[in-house]
């Protein structure tokens, strides 16, 4: 596909898959219309870049469905001043969308090959406000804490305690919670006493593997 064809497909995706289904934050819609999803996919899958579904990437991971990317991003209510922690860099696509909307993005990926590949694409696209780390995302990245927002792009049974500890008071954490085959996407606002939780959507993500997540052998 030519660049113009990808751009048209991207704009159609924003109109038909996002705006028509309740994504109404203009900054999120603008970001989704700018970030070239095809650049984060292998050549064999680029023609499907704007399909309404998740797609496989290396290391048995996925690049999320565009609607889910937009829904999670909108739930974070970004204004442009925030430091965001992303757990699960994957292809780097979600990090690019966040980089369009936040002051700083710190993203952690346990697969070194994915982290290197995502970093290369993000650099080629000119994103300078994204810092990538390879490690156990269930432990967060305490050196840059606290974070105004945290996004977890893998499924967990519970919110890992280190992530909630690294979330600033008044901050928002977006995470899919549940079991292996079914999760519920939630936005959790950190408040004194009890957090405020909002259910966003049923979903299905790859597992959050690590010290505070699922043991890897349970998901093979």
Q: Which residues are catalytic?
A: 64
User: Which tokens hold the place of 102?
Assistant: 């936040």
Residues 6+ apart with CB under 8 A from 194: none
| Alpha-carbon distances of 182 from 49, 192, 213, 218, rounded to whole Å | 24, 30, 16, 15
Contacting residues for 179 by C-beta, under 8 A, at least 6 apart? 157
Preceding omega of 84 cis (within 30 degrees of 0): no
Whole-number Å distance between alpha carbons of 65 and 86? 17
Rounded Cα–Cα distance for residues 146 and 55 (Å): 32
Angle at 53 between CA 78 and CA 48, to 5 degrees: 105
């Amino acid at each position: 596909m030519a660049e113009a064809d990808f751009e048209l497909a991207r704009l159609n995706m924003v109109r038909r898959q996002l705006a028509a289904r309740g994504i109404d934050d203009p900054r999120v819609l603008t970001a989704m219309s700018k970030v070239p999803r095809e650049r984060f996919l292998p050549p064999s899958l680029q023609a499907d870049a704007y399909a309404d579904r998740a797609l496989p990437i290396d290391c048995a991971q996925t690049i999320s469905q565009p609607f889910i990317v937009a829904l999670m991003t909108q739930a974070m209510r970004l204004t442009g001043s925030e430091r965001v922690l992303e757990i699960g860099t994957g292809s780097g696509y979600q990090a690019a969308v966040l980089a369009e909307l936040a002051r700083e993005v710190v993203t952690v990926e346990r697969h070194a090959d994915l982290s290197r590949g995502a970093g290369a694409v993000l650099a080629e696209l000119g994103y300078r406000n994204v810092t990538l780390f390879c490690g156990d995302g269930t432990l967060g990245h305490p050196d840059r804490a606290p974070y105004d927002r945290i996004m977890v792009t893998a499924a967990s049974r519970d919110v890992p305690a280190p992530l909630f500890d690294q979330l600033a008071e008044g901050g928002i954490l977006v995470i899919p919670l549940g079991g292996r085959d079914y999760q519920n996407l939630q936005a959790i606002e950190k408040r004194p006493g009890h957090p405020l939780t909002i259910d966003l959507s049923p979903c299905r993500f790859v597992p959050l593997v690590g010290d505070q997540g699922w043991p890897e052998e349970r998901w093979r």
